[in-house]
Amino acid sequence: MDVLTLDPAADEGGAGRPLAAAHVSLWPQPVDTGWECISTPPFACASPADLPAGLNAASPGHGWLAAQVPGTVAGARRAAGLLDIDHPPPLAFDDHWYRVTLTGTGRRRLRLHGLATLAEVWLDDVKRLDSASMFVAHDLDIDLDGSATLALCFRSLTPALAAKRSRARWRPRLVSPPTLRNVRTTLLGHMPGWCPSIQAVGPWRPIELLSDAPHAFDTLDLASRLDHDDGVVSLTLRFLQPHDTATCRATFECADSVSSLQWHDAYTLTGSVRVPHAKRWWPHTHGEPTLYPLTLRLDDGSVVSHSLGSIGFRSVEVERGADGAGFALRVNGVPVFCRGACWTSADLVTLAGSEAQLRHTFELARAAGMNMLRVGGTMLYESDMFYALADEYGLLVWQDFALANFDYPNDAAFSALIEREASQFLTRTRRFAALAVLCGGSEVDQQAAMFGLPASMRAQPLFTELLPAVAMRERADVPYVSNSPSGGAWPFSTNEGVTHYYGVGAYQRPLDDVRRSQVRFAAECLAFANVPDDVTLNDALGTIHLHDPRWKAAVPRDPGAGWDFDDVRDHYLQTLYGVEPARLRYDDPARYLELSRAVVAELMGDVFAEWRRAGSSCGGGLVWQLQDLRPGAGWGLIDATGRPKSALHGLANALQPLQVVMTDEGLNGLDIHLINERAQTFCGQLELVCLREGSVKVISASCAVELEPHSVKRVSAAACLGQFFDFTHAYRFGPRAHDVTIATLRDAAGQVVSEAFHLPERRVHERHDLGLTIAAERGSDGGWQLVIEAKRFARFVHIIDPHYRAARDWFHLAPNRPCIVPLIPLSARASTGEMVARAASAEINADETYASPAGEVRAINALSAIFYG
């Protein structure tokens, strides 16, 4: 009896779909080579027969270009060097044609996973399909007799935008034109001030031919559930060809558990396998994201094994609190403080990212202590690879349906399109444990309420009836939220339900507003124009000057507002640090940029320290946004080249599973909050010290601590010290006695687990010789690391190296305490994007890197930089 095992290697579609050996092609095969595309004026060509035949890559408006599929017209033009990212043409308002030659014989099934946006599918000059949504996949059965030309036409949106529909009750300023509410396309590229106007056009998702092999798969549907302590995996597998159900047997394996499958009909296998005492899948902050391998074995005389990827078991519930007005998640019965950021897109041009790019971003998010990403309604549904990596990395996903801001049509045709879109997405992602929240859309109810409409006039059955019904049918294990934000007297009330919190941020409220607002869950928050490192400003943006048009073009702003998010950051520079931003930009632009990076790191850490403290009503916060869509001072915590910004490092200092944070309680002094999200009891030591002039110990105290699993404990600094001390300089009995308070949490072995710092005075006018020393050395893994030490408290230490990035950056450093910072190499022989991809995929090793690092270390209270190397 022959046994053939197919190696599991995830393809672009992701989700652990294995690529079969060439002689046993059971999985759909990508149609991804030989494509070319051409752009024409709207409706200049009624059919492929009208298209020009010549190839003229120098003229994108008139000639054919080589095209990548999956991909976009913008991607084809970028590859040919014909796209100006800063001034892109309005691609959605021309026609664009793709074509490729298909070869083969017999009946075949063509699967088109996503066509953006109004598309026609032609085979040998015969139109076979019309598509009205970029979010809907289509199957098309075709007959091949040697070869045939497949052509795709992406029509101009102009007629659809001008068509008569029901009158909207409100028109948001965010999107242009407002009639995009009638078209099922992403809002990316149509939001002036938010992102470049690169519009989604083309076959952005894979196109496949299903195999004609006898056992070729058509559809695979996997789902998991918990039954008490056991995990149960259900499988429905449909084949393209009928099988002899009497002679073909099948078994389904999950790890060491095996079950027989049953033939529902000649095409369909169904069944389930039970895993006794299954380990749970956890967000990485609270445990291991355990995944179980899945295997299908078919026996019709020879046994063939197929890897079906992996799956996890978990439960997710919403906790509303004692008053019923809260919002927090319980995963596997344990409360989880959700923190992370709102996803944008790995690449605005292609609307997708490579596995290396996605892994790089997921690794940065996980290292920063994030455990949730939100895919918002202004974006698009991500690839299977995205959700599979979320499973692997232990990152929860809050998923909006691709709906935002608008008063959408309520006719039967539009509703049917939404139902099909939602059903396909939920079926496609049913297997993923990371999917934790489904949300009807973004800021729809908020928009209506801000226009003054009462609740009775702003309701949409789309969000209250259709989508919750689809969610219940397809993913009953995932909680549904009608809108983000929602709850409270206004949908955007901060003290009930889900909110978008910009009190600290766009509304320029003081830091104490974070507590006053009583946030229950912030599905969006903060939003600053976060300044990238100088290397990105110089190499990718081309300027470090704020009044250069290139700088201002990249700074986000709300349409119609008389300010932008540079102004928001400057407000906090002035109120927290006591500097005049305009004067500082004029006198010392480098110092201005340094302080701009520091202040957002400080704000990020302070806000999340407040939300994570003992007694907080907040169940989570997601920063707007994770990554920039273009180089510059955008909202992203990660810049457009993949480099983390100071804001991400500031979050990393406050988001770890074992964490100490401090909150200023005014006349009550300082509260120290000890957080243990792990499943194990933590025993260690808490140390408290106050320093004057950054080095002279004024007071100190120490006490043993024991933290129960999944617990938060508050310790009063006054109680820890046992005597009066004006920690916050609130009583002001004479001059301030200290500059900084440091709380240090050590484990039983004496190793520092976490540190928190409090400055009673945040102004940044004093600068000193900190006695910084830096040594570059090889670490135990063979890579480079820096050992940094200071004789005096160093505020926001920042490492600059042309060939490395610091794994830890923008952190405070206590005096006389050496700090080891690993360095992550970047390749000097590649473009910025290639550097990111190669570093993320571990293609760079120690032998490739430079003999030793060479750079500088700065701190915002240091007289000057210290150089090393």
pLDDT digits (tens, 9 = 90+) for 120-165: 999 999 999 999 999 999 999 999 999 999 999 999 999 999 988 8
CA count, 13 A, side-chain hemisphere, 237: 27
Q: Tell me the mean pLDDT in the region 68-72.
A: 97
Least confident of 362-366, 530-534, 545-549, 826-830: 826-830
CA-CA distance, 803 to 826, in Å (whole number)?
A: 5
CA separation for the pair 36, 99 (Å, rounded):
6
How does residue 16 score in pLDDT terms, banded at 50, 70 and 90? Answer: very low
The pLDDT value given to residue 848: 46
pLDDT of residue 206: 97
| 9 has pLDDT over 70 | no
Least confident stretch, 504-513, 699-708, 842-851, 860-869: 842-851
Thinking of the domain 773-868, which architecture would CATH place it in? Sandwich (2.60)
Gyration radius of the chain's alpha carbons:
28
Residue 58 has pLDDT above 50, yes or no: no
| Residue 54 confidence (pLDDT) | 63
402: closest CA among 17, 601, 114? 114
d(CA 511, CA 517) in angstroms, rounded, equals 11
Query: By three-state DSSP, how is residue 394 classified?
Result: coil
Residue 838 has pLDDT above 60, yes or no: no
Give the model's pLDDT for residue 612: 98
- pLDDT over 90 (residue 27): no
Nearest to 747 by CA among 812, 681, 791, 814: 681
Output the pLDDT for position 839.
Answer: 39
Fold of 658-758: Immunoglobulin-like (2.60.40)
Band of residue 833 on the pLDDT scale cut at 50, 70, 90? very low
CATH for the 316-652 domain, from 3.40.50.9100, 3.40.50.2300, 3.40.220.10, 3.20.20.80 = 3.20.20.80
C-alpha 57/C-alpha 359 separation (Å) is: 34
Within 10 angstroms of residue 365's Cβ, the number of other Cβ atoms is 28
Q: 393-432 pLDDT, tens per residue?
A: 999 999 999 999 999 999 999 999 999 999 999 999 999 9
Looking at domain 33-67+72-202, its CATH architecture is Sandwich (2.60)
Q: Read off the pLDDT of each residue in 454-475 and give the average, rounded to a whole number.
A: 95
Contact 460, 409 (CB under 8 A): no
pLDDT grade for 623, boundaries at 50, 70 and 90 = very high
Average confidence score pLDDT of the chain? 92
User: Residue 482's pLDDT is what?
Assistant: 96
The alpha carbon of residue 198 and the mean position of all alpha carbons in its chain are separated, in whole angstroms, by 20
Instruction: Assess whether pLDDT exceeds 90 at residue 608.
Output: yes
Provide the b/e sequence for 159-170 (b: ≥16 CB within 10 Å). Answer: ebbeeeeeeeeb
The predicted pLDDT at position 576 comes to 97
Three-class secondary structure assignment of 714-728: EEEHHHHHCCCCCCC
Task: Single out the residue of 742, 726, 737 nearest to residue 692, CA to CA.
Answer: 737
**Spatial distance between the Cα atoms of 641 and 382, rounded to a whole number of angstroms:** 20
pLDDT surpasses 80 at 836: no
The pLDDT of residue 56 is 45
**What pLDDT score was predicted for residue 11?**
38
Q: What is the pLDDT of residue 301?
A: 81
Q: Give CATH 3.20.20.80 domain extents, the chain.
A: 316-652
What was the pLDDT predicted at 850? 56
Residue 25: predicted pLDDT: 66
**Per-residue pLDDT for 52 more than 90?**
no
Residue 363: count of CB within 10 angstroms of its CB: 14
pLDDT at 2 over 60: no
pLDDT for 7? 33
Distance in angstroms (rounded) separating the CA atoms of residues 28 and 110: 9
Over residues 752-765, mean pLDDT: 97
Q: In the prediction, which pLDDT does 272 show? A: 98
The more confidently predicted of residues 368 and 215 is: 368
What CATH architecture does domain 213-311 belong to? Sandwich (2.60)
Q: Locate CATH 2.60.40.10 in the chain.
A: 213-311, 658-758
Q: Is the pLDDT of residue 493 over 90?
A: yes
Query: pLDDT exceeding 70 applies to what percent of the chain?
Result: 93
Bridge partners, residue 295, by sequence: 253, 307
- In this predicted structure, what is the pLDDT of residue 122? 98
* Ranges in the chain annotated CATH 2.60.120.260: 33-67+72-202
Reference 648, options 833, 827, 805; nearest CA is 805
Residue 6's pLDDT is 33
Question: Mean pLDDT throughout 59-63?
Answer: 58
Residue 85, pLDDT > 90, answer no
Say if residue 102's pLDDT is above 60.
yes
Higher per-residue pLDDT: 414 or 3 = 414
Residue 409: the pLDDT is: 95
99, β-bridge pairs: 36, 151
pTM: 0.94
State pLDDT tens for residues 324-350: 999 999 999 999 999 999 999 888 999
Q: How confident is the model at residue 800 (pLDDT cuts 50, 70, 90)?
A: very high
- Terminal Cα distance for the chain, rounded: 64
